[in-house]
Amino acid sequence: MSNLERTLSIIKPDAVERNLENEIKKMFIENGFKIIKEKKIQIEKSEAETFYKVHETKPFYNDLCAYLSSGPIVVMILEKENAVLGNRDLMGATNPKDAKDGTIRKKYGISIDKNSVHGSDSVENAKIEIDFFFRD
Ligand code: CDP
Ligand code: MG
């Protein structure tokens, strides 16, 4: 059965800063993702706080929000069959040290906080996150 999905991907400041935007996009395309929309932006800390609200009780929340708003990011809507899980697989584990060969975080991640990419973790959150960045 066909199950075309969309998910939200972010190339985080550490990767944009190292000019990895094109290499990371190439990995998405080579893995069958279509980039439906994309924009390079810098967000306010308050916007990062809204985006990462599920983590508001975590000890890393403040640093995470400061980091995501610290420089330009590339936000993209990706489309593919089972895109949400497929993107999580391609990204690899949250901590690049645990990420498998062939994943974006294994290849480019620096540390658990500077792990180069974000990807929605469920179809429901993908809709919320896509709307957050592309509601216009
Ligand atoms: O990004 P992912 O969904 O894999 O992980 P998460 O558990 O939703 O955490 C969101 C982000 O918070 C991660 O991508 C990390 O950048 C950051 N984080 C951190 O800095 N320290 C941790 N112990 C856990 C997460
Ligand atoms: Mg997450």
Residue 31 lies in domain? 4-133
Tokens in use for 125?
């959150």
Active site residue 55: no
Tens of pLDDT, residues 43-68: 999 999 999 999 999 999 999 999 99
Ligand nearest to the CA of 59: 1
As for how many domains the chain has, the answer is 1
Q: Which of 28, 118, 120, 126 is catalytic?
A: 118
CA pair distance 8, 22, nearest whole angstrom = 17
CA pair distance 36, 12, nearest whole angstrom = 18
What pLDDT score does 1 carry? 83
Q: Residues 84, 120: contact at Cβ < 8 Å? A: yes
Is any atom of ligand 1 closer than 6 Å to the C-beta of 112?
yes
Q: What is the mean pLDDT of the chain?
A: 98
Residue 136 has pLDDT above 90, yes or no: no
| 6 three-state secondary structure | strand
The atom of ligand 1 lying closest to the CA of 52 is 10
The mean pLDDT value for 14-24 works out to 98
What pLDDT score does 41 carry? 98
High-pLDDT (> 70) share of the chain, %: 100
Is any atom of ligand 1 closer than 6 Å to the C-beta of 118?
yes
Kindly report the CATH number assigned to the domain that includes residue 90.
Answer: 3.30.70.141
Q: What is the pTM of this model?
A: 0.98
CA pair distance 76, 29, nearest whole angstrom = 12
